[in-house]
Amino acid sequence: MKILTAKQMNQVDQLTSQQYDIPSSLLMENAGLKLHRTLEQYFDDLDSRLIAIICGKGNNGGDGIVLARHLVKRKIDPDVYLLSHVTDVSGDARVNLDAYLKSGKKVIEITDSRSWERISENFSGYDIVVDALLGTGICKPLSGLYSKVVSTINGSNAFVLSVDIPSGMFSDSLRGGMQTVQAKATVTFTAPKLAHILNEDQTAIGELHIVPIGSPSALLEKPEYQLNLITREQIFSHLPRREISSHKGHFGHVVIVAGSRGMSGAAVLSGRAALRTGSGLITICTPEVIQDVVASFQAELMTEGLPSTPQGTFASTAADPLLKLLQDKDAAAIGPGLGRAKETVQFVHAVVRRATVPLVLDADALNAFVDDPVKLKNDNDQPLILTPHTGEFARLLGRPIKEILSQKVELARQFAQERGVWVVLKSFRTLIAEPAGQVFVCPLGNPGMATAGMGDVLTGALTSLLGMFAARGRTAPNEISRAVQVGVYLHSLAGDLAAQRVGSQALTAGDVTAHFGQAYQKLAEERS
């Protein structure tokens, strides 16, 4: 599913009329009808509810007027507030407003703060408030009358339904903290907008409903629309199937290069995640001084001890035996718990450059390239999948974290394209940037996942999926992308399921691993 900017959404609306002869008035009519049906989903007793519809003078307000007309057909008489003179309304919104007025109904014109203050004294009596005030086109903070209206809406106890986007929220902004309507639900049309998915103030949006209103789906498939929302249906279609005649070789043999003295848990967490996501065989490669410790944690994991430094990290001489081990494997990961010793950095550089399988880079494997990111490439044209959190990505780019957070989509896309790698940027709403320029957003995950070891679990899951795909010959770039999407989505879904059981405060990385099986089951149940 595409995620659109305000400009892209306007293009789709215009092309719907220009190329498909679907009038904009029909789109507005369909939008108002979908608003009506959404209210019916929430209220079985809609006929008995007191409803206020607050309309601006633009198309957002026009959608609200269409809703009012449909409510009147049901013998429901809403109070319609227009923050404008009727004479200032134009276009399709004016056509619908005139039709509403000709039916004998009225709107209450509000053009100054004093008039609104008188209205707001009795505003607490409404059960439902429909915010049809401002749409996706605003780019300035609220002030004056609009600010007062939004304050009144937020101070009420009513169920608030926002049309397209909560008024006050910038459609293309990732930043929260602005004054905006706090909706219980938002109905947006055709496709989600950037802020619906990536704005930090997700509580303002409430439950998001994405509804079609008539624009052909073909208009959304332009190559320049590069931001995508991962859907559950899409993930299910990508899942490797376990046929009745399967054996463990069908699901890949992967290698996880991880751990150091004092960090053996990172290796175990990654290995367990690979097991729980379905990998056929897993070998943990770890410094020989901690091999026995790692091997004692999980009987199903094979281990391989490699040369280590006196500090208990990988020695530079560990590269050759590891690369030999990788020759008949399907995928590998490197990074969790490695440490940053000089020899270990040299080891990482050699492995990344010479690996002969798809390779996931996490944690200290990424830190190894902070001083020289140009070396982040593979001589054998193997896919590299980077999994930085925002701090690691900031170090790789040499930019402040604030800049990463405000421009993460653009920066992740740019880095992925320039370096020919996949970037899995772990933050609020994990991003997957592909070398081809497309960016995918995972809509799942919760704050409880911001805890130690969670990245190690993701690394194991991604490596497992890459191995399963590779074992079946699915190694083309689009297949690598699918494997990464499945791994990210399963990790977040398992995290949400675990949080439902133990709460976000107590959530651990191990809880997420324990819920991978339930995540698979949930995908299958909802598909059937």
pLDDT of residue 494: 98
What is the C-alpha separation between 418 and 376, in angstroms, rounded? 11
pLDDT of residue 527: 62
Q: How is 258-290 classified by DSSP, letter by letter?
A: ---TT-HHHHHHHHHHHHHTT-SEEEEEEEGGG
HSE at residue 260, side-chain half, CA atoms within 13 A, is 22
Strands 384-386 and 302-306: unpaired
435 and 420 Cβ atoms separated by less than 8 Å: yes
What is the C-alpha separation between 404 and 397, in angstroms, rounded? 9
pLDDT of residue 329: 98
Smallest Cα–Cα separation from 441: which of 235, 166, 251, 182?
235
pTM value is 0.94
pLDDT of residue 250: 87
pLDDT of residue 528: 53
314 and 338 Cβ atoms separated by less than 8 Å: yes
What is the C-alpha separation between 206 and 262, in angstroms, rounded? 43
Tell the burial category of 340 from Cβ atoms under 10 Å away from its Cβ (0-12, 13-18, 19+): middle
Strands 422-425 and 431-433: antiparallel
Provide the 3-class DSSP secondary structure of residue 462.
helix
Which pLDDT tens digits describe the chain residue by residue (528 residues)?
A: 999 999 999 999 999 999 999 999 999 999 999 999 999 999 999 999 999 999 999 999 999 999 999 999 999 999 999 999 999 999 999 999 999 999 999 999 999 999 999 988 888 899 999 999 999 988 899 999 999 999 999 999 999 999 999 999 999 999 888 999 999 999 999 999 999 999 999 999 999 999 999 999 999 988 899 999 999 999 999 988 888 888 888 899 999 999 999 999 999 999 999 999 999 999 999 999 999 999 999 999 999 999 999 999 999 999 999 999 999 999 999 999 999 999 999 999 999 999 999 999 999 999 999 988 889 999 999 999 999 999 999 999 999 999 999 999 999 999 999 999 999 999 999 999 999 999 999 999 999 999 999 999 999 999 999 999 999 999 999 999 999 999 999 999 999 999 999 999 999 999 999 999 999 999 988 665
HSE at residue 322, side-chain half, CA atoms within 13 A, is 37
Fill in the DSSP letter of residue 308.
Answer: B
**Full strand arrangement of the beta sheet holding 227-229:** 227-229, 439-441, 431-433, 422-425, 384-386, 359-361, 331-334, 253-257, 281-287, 302-306
Tell the burial category of 449 from Cβ atoms under 10 Å away from its Cβ (0-12, 13-18, 19+): buried
Neighbour tally for 379: CB within 10 Å: 10
What is the C-alpha separation between 284 and 257, in angstroms, rounded? 6
What is the C-alpha separation between 196 and 200, in angstroms, rounded? 9
What is the C-alpha separation between 205 and 27, in angstroms, rounded? 22
- Kindly list the distances between the CA atom of residue 76 and the CA atoms of 23, 68, 93, 490, in Å, as whole numbers in the listed order: 28, 9, 21, 45
Fill in the DSSP letter of residue 323.
Answer: H
R_g (Cα) of the chain, nearest Å = 27
Q: How is 96-136 classified by DSSP, letter by letter?
A: HHHHHHHTT---EE--SHHHHHHHHTTGGG-SEEEEES--T
Residue-range domains of the chain with CATH: 6-221 (3.40.50.10260), 233-237+249-527 (3.40.1190.20)
- Kindly list the distances between the CA atom of residue 71 and the CA atoms of 36, 82, 162, 359, 510, in Å, as whole numbers in the listed order: 7, 17, 16, 57, 51
Tokens of 198: 């990536």
**What residue has token string 């133990």?**
502
**Full strand arrangement of the beta sheet holding 108-109:** 108-109, 79-82, 51-55, 128-132, 159-163, 185-189, 207-211
pLDDT of residue 90: 96
